[in-house]
Amino acid sequence: MFTKTASRFLSGILLSCALLAPNPASAQTASPITVEIDGFAQTFDQPPIIVHDRALVPLRAIFEALGARVSWDESTQTVTAVKGTATIKLQIGAATAYRNGEALPLDVPAQVQNDRSLIPVRFVSEALGARVYWHEDTQTVDVRTPGVAKHYDAPPAMKLDTSKDYTAVVDTNKGTFKIHLDLQDAPLTVNNFVFLARDHYYDHVKFHRIIQSFMIQTGDPTGTGSGGPGYRFQDELRPKTHYAPGVVAMANAGPNTNGSQFFIGTGDAVENLDQAPYYTVFGEVSDGMDVVEAIAATPVAESPYGELSSPTEDVVINTITIEEK
């Protein structure tokens, strides 16, 4: 359950979002809109705007920032963007765009403002497969790209109520299980986990390391064991820690290097960690241990590090919902 330290900030592809505007005027800029890609704020010479409750962003700027090649045909007023195997074509004012020849309807046609072509975020989502979340409080379009870990500048501030009880409902493609979170013994760790879960950090993240007799490990959006949220926080180790099947603890790369990755004990071998109790326990599976065991039974192959732990099929967290009482 060690994490491999690495830092890499990869650009991604912009996603969809329906944004609320104060009134249904043709175009509104009442509140500045921030666009973040994997935690990094983007700067445009033409700010994003709202048109009919949809966010529009500068096409050339966003695609070039994300590594796509963009060309413009003045005679037909058509933009072509190419990234990898995807070729996107759209015409200014048209209600339909095309991805590899497939027609995709636009909620709002691409349009020109201040000599810049603007495009609905939703179209970019459907065309290039990223995800987006809208944060009303900060007027932020929060873009997440597949296989990239969102970057945060620092661990989250403590926001949990110590008088409440918190449970994580983990929905996976193998089924759902619940984790009772131990806020009393591991407040920093539980607060971090709840923050990341509520910010959708764990959505669509794989279990990248599986050893049936030992544990299953997840929490890295890159799926490599190298990814994390961009910060580290301190251990919360108990005087006497017992690791057993069902226990949930942080993975780390050494003392006080906790980030986002965690593991769940699935076999008797996890008890060997009692001799080296260096992993913060912050919860226990309270329901659905059969799902955890099904994940642990996933076939594995040799990893790049010579360990029989690399799943041969994807086991993915769909989302984690936090319940509080």
Mean pLDDT, rounded, for 61-84: 87
Count of CA atoms in the C-beta half-sphere (13 A) of 187: 9
Give pLDDT, residue 233.
98
Spatial CA neighbour of 167 closest among 262, 292, 286, 251: 286
Q: What is the pLDDT of residues 290-301, one digit of tens each?
A: 999 999 999 999
Residue 74 Ramachandran class (φ > 0 left, ψ -120 to 50 alpha, else beta): alpha
Mean pLDDT, residues 257-282:
98
pLDDT over 50 at 128, yes or no: yes
Which token pair is 199? 């910010």
What is the side-by-side strand order in the sheet with 111-113? 49-51, 54-58, 116-120, 111-113
Residue 55: in which H helix or E strand, if any?
strand 54-58
What structural domains does the chain harbor? 34-144 (3.30.457.10), 166-324 (2.40.100.10)
Identify the residue with better confidence: 96 or 12. 96
Residue 153 pLDDT exceeds 50: yes
Q: What is the pLDDT of residue 3?
A: 54
Q: What is the pLDDT of residue 298?
A: 98
Quick one: pLDDT at residue 310?
98
Highest mean pLDDT among 33-47, 114-128, 271-285: 271-285
**Which of the residue ranges 20-24, 116-120, 131-135, 302-306 would you say has the lowest mean pLDDT?**
20-24
Lowest mean pLDDT among 21-30, 144-153, 241-250: 21-30
**Mean pLDDT across 268-275:** 97
pTM: 0.83
Beta bridge partners of 311: 300
**Of 13-22, 145-154, 205-214, 297-306, where does mean pLDDT reach its minimum?**
13-22
Q: How much is the mean pLDDT over the chain?
A: 88
> Per-residue pLDDT averaged across 37-51, rounded?
90
Cα 149-151-152 angle, rounded to 5 deg? 140
Output phi, psi for 268, to 5 deg. -60, -25
- The lowest-confidence range among 121-125, 154-158, 218-222 is 121-125
The mean pLDDT of 97-108, rounded to a whole number, is: 92
Q: Which of 206, 198, 193 is nearest to 233 (CA)?
A: 193
Lowest mean pLDDT among 87-96, 196-205, 272-281: 87-96
Looking at residue 117, its pLDDT comes to 85
Per-residue pLDDT tens over the stretch 1-41 = 655 443 332 223 233 333 332 333 344 445 789 999 999 99
* pLDDT tops 70 at residue 312: yes
Do the strands 316-324 and 166-172 form a parallel or antiparallel pair, or are they unpaired? antiparallel
